[in-house]
Amino acid sequence: MRKQITFLILLFIGFAVTAQTLNVKGVVKDAANGDVLPGVSVIVKGTKLGAESDFDGMYSLQNITSGSVLVFRYLGYKQKEVTVNSATINVSLEIQAEALDEIIVVGYGKQKRKDVTGSVSIVGEETFEVLKPIDATTALQGTTSGVAVNLSSGAPGAKVNILIRGVSSNTNNQPLTIVDGYEGDLNSINPNDIESITVLKDAQAAIYGIKGANGVVLVTTKIGKKNKAPSVKYQTFASLQQTTRKLNYLNATEYALVLNEAYAVSGQSLPYNDVSQLGVGSDFQDELFNDALLMNHNISVAGGGENFRYFMSASRTEQEGIIAKQNSNFIRNNIKLNLGVDLSDKLNFSVIANYYTSASNGFDNSVLFNGLNFAPTFGLDEDDTANFLGIEIVNPLSQLNNTFNEYNGNGLEGNFKLEYKPIEGLSITSRLGYKIYNDKGRTFTPIQSYGSSKVFNQLQSSVYQYKQTSTRVVWENFANYEKTFAENHNTTFTLGTSVQNDLFDGIYATGINVPNNSYDFADLSLTDPQNEQRSLNAGFNDLRLISYFSRLQYDYKGKYLFSGLVRRDAASVFDKNLRVDHFWSATTGWKLSDEDFLKDNETISFLKLRASYGTLGNLVGNNLNRSFLSGEGTYVLDGSLVDGTAQGRIPNPLAQWETAVKLDIGLDVNFFNDKLSIVADYFEESRENLLIENFPVSGILGTGAPGGGNPTVNAGTSKNTGAELAINYNAINTEDASLNLSYNVTYVKNEVTDVNGGAFIEGGSFAIGNLPPSRMEVGQSIGYFYGLQTDGIFQNQAEIDAHPSQNDLGANVTSPGDIRYKDVNEDGVIDINDRTNIGKPQADFFMGFNLSGRYKNWDFSAYLYSELGKEMVRNYERFLPNVNKPAYYLDRWTGEGTSNSVPRLTNDATNNKLFSDFFVEDASFLRLQNIQIGYNFSPNTLEKVGVAKLRLYTSINNLFTLTDYSGFDPTINGGAIGAGIDYGSYPSARQFIIGLNVEF
Amino acid sequence: MKKIQNNLSILILMITSLFLTTACSDEYLDNTKVYAEDSESFFNSEADYYNALVAAYDPLQSTFINVLMGEIASNNTLAGGESATDVPGYQQIDDMTHTPVNSQLQNLWSWMYGGVNRAAYIIENQDKTDFEGKNVIIGEARFLRAYYNFELVKWFGAIPIKPEGRFSVGDEKTIPRAPINEVYNLIEEDLKYAVDNLEYTTPQVGRATKAAAEALLGKVYVYQEKFTEASDIFDSVITNGGFMLETDYNKIFEFQGENGVGSVFEVQYTDIQGAGFGCLQCSEGNVAVGFQGVRGYSGDLFTSGFSFNVPTQEMVDQFEAGDNRKEVAILDIDAWATTTGATFTTGYEHTGFFNRKYIPRKRSADAAGDLNLTNPNNYRAIRFADVLLLAAEANNRKAIPNDTKARLFLNRVRERAFGNTTNNITLSGSDLTDAIYHERRVELVGEGHHFFDLVRTGRGSEIPGFTPNKNEVFPIPIEEIQFSQGNWSQNEGY
């Protein structure tokens, strides 16, 4: 002990005698606007001595050796080094012009962007500010390479799907979303709370093991800065919404003429003998679509004191639907709190909480379908009582009058985190992430009648109610140790564990005979307790995961970079002996621009080569190993049905998750002092162990018994290959003006390489009575369209006679004006074996082109998004003689030479309605997602009224969409097998926005 | 050195802190809650056993395909249907051109094994929970397994068996096709257990009785030509079973005759639940009935169907003059249309005759659809007349024949058929045997027995297109041969 004290004293004296010391102080300011910067860290280089600037930007340091170097660091600003040669050192920091020094989260740790060796995309808060997404996910569309965003519907509150580097799985392609360290969803977050989103696209995401294969979306929400006075922001906007498109359908006169022709061709008496009085008739689309409002308010406060920093916000979004707004709307409220407190120099405690509520109502998908197919000769409030249109088509407006439902959900999510830094370089973190979501729904189905035997008729009223609770708790403990050895060997070592429990339970009930047939009485307690159709169900799920992970990051002089990681996951939803897997990855990078031969190159300011390789998992296949008593065991005893208990589908004790093997080779290069930056990647992914349902097994296992079934087996493989390119050009950047252009493009090719040794899976549906139109099959992309190939229209009988017979397709007669199908297998007969690949729902290329800039007080931006090389299936026509039809029938075949694309009209049985490329359309599109202009009031003017910033803006979302697709919206998509089939989907809205941002 | 120690201690600190805080192991994963009944944690109460038993009866309803296809296979009927390509599996079997590629045979195979496994599920778990009367449930389960296995051995010959319980994944590669005598041994054991444990009366109509087990055991003996054992067990059914021949032959096949005095075992059907083509075996109705109805029929008494399984003129001619059964068994549609004004259309291989015992009757207004698939006609699986004729055959053919007794049983059947004793048979020896065979054919026409009677008595060649030493059994479905990966060989000739 004494020895050590002596040593310390000697050391101190040593310092004292070797150099002159100074007490240094000064002010740190923003170089651009001269604002003082509080919270800037000032460190004496090579020591642990340091300070932080206070509220007034002041810092001071005692006993600093003259000649030592002070390092000023502040997030978002360029680091500055100043040699100490006087007692006052005032410093101006410049804003980080480029993102290379940006700190990004990479999963259980952080990295400088320039040191990242994986493939990542980043979206910053400015993108959310511009695009004003209701669901934060949509801000990723067109702004990030490798990421495609698919709307499942344009309805308010509808689910938005993210696809990272294409569809690889036939079951689940949703990436993992991590918000501030807890596993969450983007749709529960207020987009204004987001600081940045980082997308991990390659094997680097293996740190998330069994959940990483579909990519990982890491969301960081805002938090204030230490020693910063509260900054209050209020943002609001209002938007007028309307549909992006209505479909061109026949008016009443056209409709009657078309019907007459079909009847005449079939030798039937004409339905409309006098069409002169019909006029245009009713336009049901016009009645369904309406202008709708969208309002958003958001207020936030951020700041911090000496030992704490905080962010609080509240927001409300109200969105009406552009179809039947009384039946289609969405409301979300968010309250957010982020708080970090230094309990001591070494111990930090933080709380993140996001409380949200969402409420919505909607209507049956068939409303728009009916809106298209219901005949224009009917009055707006007239029902097809005589069943003229067939039993499945009813007046959509009557249908809406009978639509009553509500949905309410509320959730609380976030985490508690304790971070301990016992010694330099070591941080130990323990955090508890949680997400609790409760929701409930109520649907009232009144007694309703639309005409005799209509399928939508209800003879008795019923109410369906449910309540669900899901809870997720994740407890993670990990340590990061950062150390530089022998000056140049920089290492970071991470070691951690994670324990997760997801619980779900729900209760579902239906009651029959609601009093007074009224929504006001639509509650289970009031329904008929004796009714046999009354039903009660419950659902439950319990998923547990235990994981261990470790990562080593190493670089030599920041030039040669390497990381290696391994994760072990064990999941409760698989067989006990098969539930563990290990995932790993290795990444490497070489910063060529730090090499001598490029160091001072004037053209190339940054150049890095990257490569990554590793394995990841996709957590599907849950509980397939279990044998449930879900079979049908009903027999007749004593003349009545008796329900027995039988096994359901055969379990697959070997069922496991999917695994992915990913390779990425990338290049980051910046030119002209980082004005132009390019990121290019080539990637490959092999997705193995895809789950194949209904896997054929021997009948001796009893699968043939009622309600039995074949097991689901890991027996498929798919391969994705592709490339992405992102270019950013900072064309102008002066005090008065700036202009930034960016372009990104991604190419993905998916190919199924194995499905149970050569079989295929079918899915989706087209019209009624057709074979499934979508397939997963070896050599093709997942969910490609499988149907007949057309070869024009038969113009005359001679052409029919010269062509192989089409009678085996179903209709025994082929006439001029019918579709000619190709004899794909060249066997001299046209039958279902001539079906082939006629398109695919996933685009070959998707790209974004974005422009933003400012001139003096004005700012402007434009975001374009495009997908090329995809098809969609027009499936919103109901093939019945009397329903309304799309306007393309006006160009139908009516005699030799009249049309070679649209078949004749007839009520006879034909093969023209079979699934063929006649119904498959090119759905490539280019959409102007957003165009915006804003005005920023001068700070000098605002200062007088106590306002820091004020911006007014106006923008338009989805102003135009260029496409050949004739349906409502080529951007609507979803799923894997069965994707791209358009049943008449709710289109996205065009939004005219005005907004205001003010900051105090 | 100190530096390294320092780093080491940091590492150790990291690791220990992690494992202390996460003091948790993979055992945490074992305790998940499920709230769903798992097949491996069942049989905890009498109700569980009963429910599993009901489910084991359920696949009996899928035996409609055995009856329909069995009749088509014989020389009684033609396949019919809409066209020559309507259900190719049936058409090929009718023409004896069937191959291992046959979806209907594959259905039969997997549906019967569905039944075997459901019965075996109970047998496998018979010791798990005790309660009074469990032996009855086990007895019925063993009866049912015997019933399904007997169907399988009749159709396919040697089949894989697993006496201890259900088959599990991989068994198809390891369990061989047991020789026919071993299959019969298992069937006999199961039935003897059932005979010993069941009563002549049942708690519910539709469940198997001691008599059903005895009758099936007798039949199984006859199929093995164990005639002495057969005649003994038939004596017991005939004496103790309490059965009578229903005087009105027609009533047997009408709804009011279901589960009647002459019904030893009957497969129960109803039309109160709907069904679709997607899962024929799931129907609670008798699918065969709709399949053999008159195509496009409109008129009295009956409803329409798909015109399969149409009797041939040769079959119709088997009825002797004065046989009251002819009008019941065979619908001569032209004659019927003339007298009643009914209308109909004709299908493929139209003979003008239909299997009147099992064509669709008019239904109640609340019958659930698809009406073609939900006909509620019970299948009279073992009729007392069948038992009497088998008993006659056993007495006639056993080592020490008793032709007197054989004639007694045979003539009981004939007396009902003709309504007198003047048509009684007085033959003996092999002439009597032939008379019994003939009587079986006409008494049981349309009920799916004739093909198997022919092959078990070496008369398969009476069937047009029949190849001896091949067509006695049907081919193992190609899929099954492939699944077995060489474990099972194909039947001879296929």
B297 and B183 in a common domain: no
Tell whether B15 is within 8 A of chain A (Cβ).
yes
With contacts defined as CB-CB under 8 Å, which chain A residues touch B61? Answer: 635
pLDDT of residue A96: 63
Check CB contact under 8 Å for B33 and A635.
no
Check CB contact under 8 Å for A544 and B268.
no
DSSP letters, B412-431, are HHHHHHHSSSTT-----HHH
Q: Are B91 and B81 in contact (CB under 8 A)?
A: yes
Sign of the dihedral through C-alpha A453, A457, A460, A463: positive
B115 and B18 in a common domain: yes
Token duo for residue A542: 């319990």
Q: Are A681 and A234 in contact (CB under 8 A)?
A: no
HEC-encoded secondary structure of B368-406 = CCCCCCCCCCCEEEEEHHHHHHHHHHHHHHCCCCCHHHH
The shortest C-alpha distance from B303 to chain A (Å) reads 22
Distance CA B195, CA B212 (A): 8
Check CB contact under 8 Å for A633 and B117.
no
Q: B292 lies in a domain?
A: yes
Q: B186 lies in a domain?
A: yes
Single out the residue in B323, B354, B377 at which a domain terminates. B377
Token duo for residue B211: 């008599």
B173 and B25 in a common domain: yes
Helix B227-240 / helix B384-397 crossing angle, nearest 10 deg: 140
Return averaged pLDDT per consecutive 10 residues of chain A, 1000 residues in all: 48 48 85 77 82 85 84 80 85 68 80 86 86 85 88 84 90 92 90 92 93 94 89 94 94 94 90 91 94 95 93 95 92 96 92 95 91 95 89 92 95 94 90 95 94 83 96 93 90 92 94 93 92 84 93 92 94 91 95 88 92 95 88 92 91 92 96 92 95 87 90 91 95 88 95 83 83 90 94 95 88 89 93 93 94 92 94 91 93 93 89 93 95 91 87 94 94 83 90 93
The shortest C-alpha distance from B115 to chain A (Å) reads 7
As a whole number of Å, the end-to-end CA separation of chain B is 81
Smallest Cβ–Cβ distance between B35 and the set A540, A632, A645 belongs to A540
Note which residues in 247-286 of chain B have CB less than 8 A from chain A.
Answer: 268-270, 272-273, 279, 281-282, 284
Q: Which residues pair with A200 in a beta bridge?
A: A120, A216
With contacts defined as CB-CB under 8 Å, which chain A residues touch B10? Answer: 423, 426, 481
What's this model's pTM, rounded to 2 decimal places? 0.81
Q: B345 lies in a domain?
A: yes
CATH for B152? 1.25.40.890
Cβ burial of A880 (10 Å; 0-12, 13-18, 19+) is middle
Provide the number of CB pairs (under 8 Å) joining chain A to chain B: 227
Q: B366 lies in a domain?
A: yes
B190 and B290 in a common domain: no
Distance CA B177, CA B494 (A): 16
B148 and B10 in a common domain: yes
B186 and B285 in a common domain: no
Cβ burial of B427 (10 Å; 0-12, 13-18, 19+) is middle
Query: What one-letter code names the amino acid at A615?
Result: T
Q: Are A336 and A193 in contact (CB under 8 A)?
A: yes
Q: B183 lies in a domain?
A: yes
B305 and B186 in a common domain: no
Tell whether A515 is within 8 A of chain B (Cβ).
no
Cβ burial of A946 (10 Å; 0-12, 13-18, 19+) is exposed
Q: Are A190 and A336 in contact (CB under 8 A)?
A: yes
Distance CA B47, CA A17 (A): 94
Give the nearest chain A residue to B173 (CA atoms).
A698
B174 and B56 in a common domain: yes
Q: Are B360 and B299 in contact (CB under 8 A)?
A: no
Question: Measured at the alpha carbon of residue A491, what is the angle toward residues A486 and A496, in degrees to the nearest 5?
Answer: 145
CB within 8 Å of A19: residues ≥ 6 apart: A65, A66, A67
Note which residues in 146-165 of chain A have CB less than 8 A from chain B.
Answer: none
The shortest C-alpha distance from A180 to chain B (Å) reads 21
Question: What ipTM does this complex have?
Answer: 0.93
Domain count, chain B: 2
Neighbours of A476 (CB within 10 A): 23
Per-residue pLDDT of chain B (494 residues; tens, 9 = 90+): 455 566 666 666 666 665 555 545 777 888 787 777 788 889 999 999 999 999 999 999 999 999 999 999 999 999 999 888 788 899 999 999 999 999 999 999 999 999 999 999 999 999 999 999 999 999 999 999 999 999 999 999 999 999 999 998 889 999 999 999 999 999 999 999 999 999 999 999 999 999 999 999 999 999 999 999 999 999 999 999 999 999 999 999 999 999 999 999 999 999 988 888 888 999 999 999 999 999 989 899 999 999 999 999 999 999 999 999 999 999 999 999 999 999 999 989 999 999 999 999 998 877 877 889 999 999 999 999 999 999 999 999 999 999 999 999 999 999 999 999 999 999 999 999 999 999 999 999 999 999 999 999 999 999 999 999 999 999 999 989 989 999 999 999 99
User: Minimal CA–CA distance to A567: which of A205, A173, A199?
Assistant: A205
Neighbours of A86 (CB within 10 A): 10
Distance CA A398, CA A673 (A): 64
Token duo for residue B167: 């088959």
- Strand-strand pairing, A329-342 and A308-320: antiparallel
The shortest C-alpha distance from B73 to chain A (Å) reads 22
Cβ burial of A719 (10 Å; 0-12, 13-18, 19+) is middle
Which range marks the domain in which residue B350 is found? 280-377
With contacts defined as CB-CB under 8 Å, which chain B residues touch A542? Answer: 32-34
B300 and B192 in a common domain: no
Tell whether B202 is within 8 A of chain A (Cβ).
no
Tell whether A347 is within 8 A of chain B (Cβ).
no
Smallest Cβ–Cβ distance between B284 and the set A493, A540, A634 belongs to A634
Token duo for residue A522: 């639509």
Token duo for residue A275: 């069409």
User: Minimal CA–CA distance to A833: which of A845, A841, A821?
Assistant: A821
Please name the helix (run of DSSP H) or strand (run of DSSP E) that holds residue A918, with its range, or none: none
Q: B96 lies in a domain?
A: yes
Tell whether B115 is within 8 A of chain A (Cβ).
yes
DSSP letters, A34-64, are --B-TT-EEEETTSS-EEE--TTSEEEEEEE
Q: pLDDT averaged over chain B?
A: 93
B165 and B35 in a common domain: yes
Single out the residue in B329, B356, B377 at which a domain terminates. B377
User: Minimal CA–CA distance to B222: which of B394, B399, B458?
Assistant: B394
Distance CA A496, CA A548 (A): 6
Token duo for residue A923: 């759905």
Tell whether B207 is within 8 A of chain A (Cβ).
yes
Smallest Cβ–Cβ distance between A699 and the set B26, B118, B480 belongs to B480
B125 and B22 in a common domain: yes
Tell whether A421 is within 8 A of chain B (Cβ).
no
Q: Is the peptide bond before B370 cis (omega within 30 degrees of 0)?
A: yes
DSSP letters, A378-408, are S-TT---TT-TT-TT---HHHHHHT-EEEEE
Distances, alpha carbon B20 to alpha carbons A193, A454, A966, in Å: 35, 66, 62
Q: B293 lies in a domain?
A: yes
User: Minimal CA–CA distance to B22: which of A523, A498, A815?
Assistant: A498
Query: Which DSSP category does B312 fall into?
Result: P
Q: B411 lies in a domain?
A: no
Distance CA A595, CA A560 (A): 10
Distances, alpha carbon A557 to alpha carbons A101, A399, A491, A554, B276, in Å: 16, 69, 11, 10, 72
Q: Are A428 and A422 in contact (CB under 8 A)?
A: yes
Single out the residue in B342, B377, B412 at which a domain terminates. B377
B158 and B25 in a common domain: yes
The shortest C-alpha distance from B7 to chain A (Å) reads 9
Tell whether A542 is within 8 A of chain B (Cβ).
yes
Query: What one-letter code names the amino acid at A137?
Result: T
